[in-house]
Homo-oligomer: A and B are copies of this chain.
């Protein structure tokens, strides 16, 4: 089945090189025909790494591999394949990850334990590792500083457009660059991370502060999005810092000096996370949900996620129906502190319900016009305290059923 490009697609930005990163893509024929499905990257000596992975209790072998490699703190290479997730494949699956890392390590001249691995695609089938390792030698010879766009395309599965974002940050007076790519379309309800996202920077940041700021940025970006409430077994976000930029030294507790870097990293991740939602399976509309007035930020996020994951809210948006009654229902089922008689709901900036009842005589025209657009804004004020949260999701359409109800074969 050919899936049309999402109407919410964004254009791939210009992706200048990151000093110390070379990458490329190849067609290994793991599952897809006539397209790239294997991505490799090499990192300059001394590159530090941070990672955040799925909380799904049935993670794939590549996630196991990365978790074991992460405490080392340094990365020499990355291999990613699309088409087979190498999940629920038992000991054989772990051997596949190990073989991949070992072969790539030999080609790049780094220990296997410094090669990070990610796989995405079908669950429960053995990954044909021979095809993968057969394609690695030629691929390793063709890595380039300009390979970012190819890499963004090579990790796609049901994605309809490649996803990338880049920002310039300052550490002290020195400019550093942060560039990331991501894939993801369905099975998107990140708990700790979502789907696959790889970010690199030329900044020189020790592993510990790198991990701390990555985790915080993931919590505020990918972990605030959902397509279908289903948490993947392969969610992986990796951040590589090549240390090629010449800036003031970042100490182990370098939070302060990294303020601007952390802000820009957050922007890159949020940009990528929203691109994933824009490519949500079958998505026709991007939905932003702002919850304010909750008892805590955590509570606000749970309420926002209850709205974002409600099939009835998502189908109403697909039908361009400003059905705020379903929003009220979703708030009420979240299990968080709320008071029906203090609750207010707005769509597209128009308050339709205030303090537990419909606003008599509110102007329907701007709401109707807003619902016909591509970007829908829902605001809920719980009227209790100051906790707030923003999450992003997409509508639920026939496209989602088409994509996921079709046979695998």
Contacts and interface: CB of A to CB of B under 8 A. Distances in A.
Nearest to A125: B358
Interface in A242-261: none
> How many copies of this protein are present in the complex?
2
B89 A328 contact: no
Task: Bin chain A's interface residue count.
Answer: 35 or more
A99 interface: no
A401 B407 contact: no
Contact of A319 (B55, B398, B406): B406
Contacts of A390: none
Given A357-B89, A408-B321, A328 B233 contact: yes
A320 B189 CA distance: 24
Interface in A45-79: 55-59
A332 interface: yes
A90 interface: yes
A362 to B, nearest CB: 12
B230 A330 contact: yes
A92 interface: yes
Contact of A329 (B232, B309, B343, B396): B232
A159 B226 CA distance: 30
A318 interface: yes
A98 interface: no
> 7 closest A-B pairs (Cβ-Cβ)?
A123-B325, A90-B357, A58-B332, A319-B405, A315-B404, A231-B333, A56-B332
Given A231-B329, A233-B332, A319-B407, 8 more contacts: A56-B333, A58-B338, A58-B343, A87-B329, A187-B312, A229-B309, A230-B333, A315-B404
